[in-house]
Amino acid sequence: MKEQTDKQLTHWMKIAIEVGIILFAVGVAWTTLRGVTERNTKDIVKHDQRLTHVERNQSEVNADIREIRVKQKYISKGIDEIKEKLQ
């Protein structure tokens, strides 16, 4: 009787150890994946912030280009007026 009880106890101890190992492996994998996900999220946020900064700079450049074109038109008109007066 005692032998059978010892066998059953040994059997359940083996199962408990295997379950413990599996839970440990799952915990390690979960922690690793969570860390990778958090790092990727931070990288995405940084990239998005850089893109926003670039877009802001691009809109400023476009505004400067429009301003230059307007000034260029006024300069062209001024040159044309001077040419007419000289003739």
- The 3-class secondary structure across 32-74, one letter per residue, is HHHHHHHHHHHHHHHHHHHHHHHHHHHHHHHHHHHHHHHHHHH
Residue with tokens 């059953």: 8
Residue with tokens 């032998």: 3
Write down the pLDDT at residue 42. Answer: 86
- The pLDDT tens digits of the residues spanning 6-40 come to 788 888 899 999 999 999 999 999 988 888 888 88
The percent of residues in the chain predicted with pLDDT above 90, rounded, is: 29
Query: For residue 55, what pLDDT band results from cuts at 50, 70 and 90?
Result: confident
